[in-house]
Structures are given as C-alpha cells and as structure tokens.
Structure 1
C-alpha cells in the first residue's frame, strides 16, 4: 500500500507519497520516476517520502512550502525523529538512489553524495501534519505498470 498526500495548494499541484512499510519502500525505490525526489530522516529509521516534480523542475528549485510539507511528513513518520527536535532530513533525486544486493529491505545509498541536500527540521508542526493527513489516500498501485505507461507516453 502507498499513501498519497496533496501538498498545500499555494505551492501548486503536487502529490507527496510514501510506502506503508519497508516492502513498499523497496517497490518505490525500484519503480521511481525521473521526476521523483526522495526524502528521509538522516541517520534514523523513517518513512521514505517522495514528491513528484513537474517536468523541467529540478530538486534545487523546490519551493520552501513544498519542502516543508515533505520534511514534516518524513519527520512525523519516523519513530525516533518524531520524538526529538532539530533533526536533519536528507533529500535527493530518485535517480541518485543506489541499491545493492547486500542492503537490507528498504535500505539505500547514493550514487553521488554531492547530489544529497540536508534540511534542518526544528520541530514537528502539527498544523502541517493535520492538513496533509486530511488529504491522505491509501492505494495499492501497480508501480511497474505506471512507470511503463509513463515511459511510453514520453516517447511520443
């Protein structure tokens, strides 16, 4: 199951999504889109949160509001990270995620550490989490199928 959230309307039409558990995270790692940006609490267990950027947009020009929504969601979905203040959240393009056969389920590394950004998250902002949770939709998508369809659409 994948959980989908709508970012705050003033930043544009963005869907933020995350795997329900480490097995869905594994599928999201495998079948990501080039426009996906991955978020995770640094050095702690947490959900894998993604936002799908618009065509032509880079992870360097994510608006402050969209960045805050993603960071708050990943913090709130970290057992350790949700309990403490002043955590770091790392984010990088999906294409920079590196998965090897020796890694545990849901574990990733990076191809290029220079393409990883870090944001300090001072504290949980309940208004942001409550707003996001009101938009939450649970689905069991065919991630592989969505990627194939997207690839075919972009070829034409």
Structure 2
C-alpha cells in the first residue's frame, strides 16, 4: 500500500507519497524514479516520504512551500518526531540512496553524504498536515511495472534522438560535400585559368603554314 498526497496547488500540484510500512519502503527504494526526492526525520524513526519532481527538475527546484509540505508530512508520520519540537529532516535525490545486503528492511545509506540536505522543523503545523491528509489516496501500485514502463519509454526516446542525430549528421556531411564540389567547380571556371576557342585557334598553326615549313 502506498499513500499519495497532493502538495499545495500554488507550488505546482506536485505529488508526495510514502509507503505503508518498511516493506513498501523497500519497494519504493528499489523502483524509484530519478526525479524522486527522499525525505526522513534525521536520526529517529519516521516514514520514508518521497516528492516526485517534474522530468528534468532537480533538488534545487524545490520551492520553500513545497519543502515545508514534505517536511511537515515526514514529522507528522514519525511517532517520536511528531511529539518533538526543533527536529531536523534530511532529504536527498532517490538515486543517492544506498542499499547493501547487510542492511535491514527499509534501511538505507547514502552514496554521497554531501548530497544530503537538512531542513529544521520547529513544530508541527496542523493546518499543513490536515490539508495534506485531505488529499490522501491509498493505492496498491505495481511499482516494478511502472518503473519498467518509464524505462522502456526512455529507451525509445533515446533511440529516436540517436536516429535524429545521425540523420542531422548525414545531412550536414552531404551539405559539406556539396559546398566543396561547388567551390571546386568555381575554381575550374576562373577566367585566367580558362582557354577560349579563339586562343586555341591562335596558338595552332594552320595547315598551309605547316606545308610551307615542310617545303
């Protein structure tokens, strides 16, 4: 089971989601998207919350309001963190999550700790949490199938781009050859390199002149 929430409309209508338990979290870790940003309360247990950005966006594109929605949702879904003030929420791109065989279910590390950011949450803001909960939808998605479908579409798009690149390169090559041919032809047609029929006639001796020389 995965829970989906809608962020504040003025932020752009982004989707925020989290797993029901650590087993769903494991699936979300395994089949995440490059556009997903992972959130968790620092150093204490909490839900794994994800924000799905638009394709091409990065962690730097998260607005202050959108970040606040994600951080408040993480805090509200931490048994211990929900009771505390002044907690830290860490967040990082999904692809920075590190999973090794020795880790427990739902446990993660980071490939690059420098890519992990922290936001301080002073207190729970019920107005935000209640607004998010009103948009809550439960689904049982096939995360593997969704990821494979996106991967297939990305591969198809990449092949199309490669074919288009080759087509452009071939067109450019043909254009260069044509321009080279034109330049070569123009070079042959330069006036001082050309010989007219009149010049040929003036340079050649007549039959009568040849006969006179022979005699």
Give the alignment's TM-score, normalised by structure 1. 0.98
In the alignment, the residues of structure 1 paired with residue 82 and residue 19 of structure 2 have an alpha-carbon distance, to the nearest angstrom, of 17
Larger relative contact order, structure 1 or 2 (CA cutoff 8 Å, min sep 6): 1
Determine the C-alpha separation between the residues in 2 that align with 1:56 and 1:65. 20
Partner residue of 1:42?
42
Deviates most, 39-48 or 54-63: 54-63
Cα deviation for residue 12 of structure 1 reads 0.3
C-alpha displacement at 1:83, in angstroms?
0.4
More helix by share: 2
User: For residues 34-113 of structure 1, what are the structure 2 equivalents within 5 Å?
Assistant: 34-113=34-113
Offset of residue 26 of structure 1:
0.4
Deviating beyond 6 angstroms after TM superposition, the runs of 4 or more aligned structure 1 residues are: none
Counterparts of 2:94 and 2:48, CA distance in 1: 11
Counterpart position of 2:26:
26
Distance 1:150 1:68 in 2: 29
Q: Equivalent residue of 1:82, what SS? A: helix
Deviation at 1:153, TM superposition (A): 1.7
Output the CA distance in 2 between the equivalents of 1:54 and 1:64.
16
With the length of structure 2 as denominator, give the TM-score of the two structures.
0.72
How far the C-alpha of 1:15 sits from its partner, in A, is 0.4
Aligned partners of 2:151 and 2:15: how far apart in 1?
19
Aligned pair count? Answer: 156
Tell me, in whole angstroms, the C-alpha distance in 2 between the residues paired with 1:154 and 1:9: 28
Offset at 1:152?
1.4
Give, in whole Å, the separation in 1 of the partners of 2:22 and 2:79. Answer: 14
Q: Structure 2: where are the runs of 5+ without partners?
A: 158-215
Structure 1: distance between partners of 2:106 and 2:68: 23
Gaps of 5+ in 1: none
Pairing 1:129–2:117 present = no
- After superposition, the CA RMSD in angstroms is 0.6
Higher relative strand content: 1
2:72 aligned counterpart, secondary structure: helix
Tell me how far 1:61 sits from its aligned partner: 2.2
Aligned equivalents of 1:9, 1:98: Cα separation in 2: 32
Distance 2:154 2:64 in 1: 29
